[in-house]
Structure 1
């Protein structure tokens, strides 16, 4: 049990050594490839397909994943199908992530029903993730707890305060850092018309 408790700390230390707390590189890779497929586990959908905008939409391979929200509810990535999706990878102790929180929440509210915004928290324990959501006022949109880093690996994210933006077909159209979330609204507007 003690070794299990050390895994997040070792992973966080390794990432900090390599990346710091996310770089200010906002170049992103507009042509980034869709992440490699990994088997999805069968979790109950958090929202019905009609709530997800994915009613009848073909589910791209990028959205064939499942997880658990920071509140302990099952989540199925298939519910995101049919709309552009912002995946925001953050860590509770990261000051750059905190700086992105307000703009990310604003984009989630402004584009509700037109685009999905999902936070994917990692590099710490779920209790710290829940505190971050509460303290930053970002509870209006879904946050997944990724303590084991499975979703971070799936989307090839190696540092926190990173955005992965997918179009309606599930293709990655942006991957990178947006300091303070600046430019996020423009990127989402470009995908929603």
Structure 2
């Protein structure tokens, strides 16, 4: 009888952790709970599977960028195209007020670093229509946003809460992951990768 009551409580706690708007502190370690902990990211300088495709820039494609997705506007997205430049992955959910608060600073960083740094939104925890509305409402349409309704990209980077940034250097190594309230500090972290 005790096990029957413990299971629902445990499941509820796990679900709450997954859906709570992020408020934790970030990690600057490359071996935290993000991409660096996945087998694909353990050796970022490794080229992608030899399918002949690449980023077009001649850069080696790290395994962490060996995935594809669909954008919120229905276009195919190949993460291999991100290889060779620092990349900011912004994991957000359409109903998250913390994510909305990060939108302006994230868009500014994307604009200020166009051509030098990739910025990609990874939307989850809702339906695509809500994701498109969020992009339109927040004015963040200047950079791509992935529609990750099934959570595949979130799982790949071991993201368990929205309002979470994963920043990769040009080799695909995770150099920061965590929450930046209002996006504060994002510009400094990106500047450290481009300077």
Q: TM-score range by the shorter chain?
A: 0.7 to 0.9
d(CA) in 2 for partners of 1:179, 1:15: 23
Q: Flag the 1:14–1:75 CA change in 2: closer, same or farther, 3 A.
A: farther
Equivalent of 2:166 in 164, 167, 170: 164
Q: TM-score, normalised by structure 2?
A: 0.81
Equivalent of 2:125 in 123, 143, 146: 123
CA RMSD of aligned residues (A): 2.2
Q: Give deviations 1:70-95, integer Å, cap 9, x for gaps.
A: 00000000000000000000000000
How far is the alpha carbon of 1:15 from its aligned partner? 6.2
Q: How does 1:52-131 map to 2 (within 5 A)?
A: 55-131=57-133
**Which runs of 4 or more aligned residues in structure 1 lie more than 6 Å from their structure 2 counterparts after TM superposition?**
none
Determine the structure 2 residue equivalent to 1:18: 17
For structure 2, the 5+ residue unaligned runs are 1-11, 42-47
Residue 120 of structure 1 aligns to a residue in which SS?
A: strand
Q: Give deviations 1:85-115, integer Å, cap 9, x for gaps.
A: 0000000000000000000000000000000
Q: Retained in 2: the 8 A contact 1:129–1:145?
A: yes
Residue 121 of structure 2 aligns to a residue in which SS?
A: strand
Q: TM-score, normalised by structure 1?
A: 0.82
Residue 40 of structure 2 aligns to a residue in which SS?
A: coil
d(CA) in 2 for partners of 1:153, 1:27: 18
For structure 1, the 5+ residue unaligned runs are 1-12
Residue 67 of structure 1 aligns to a residue in which SS?
A: strand
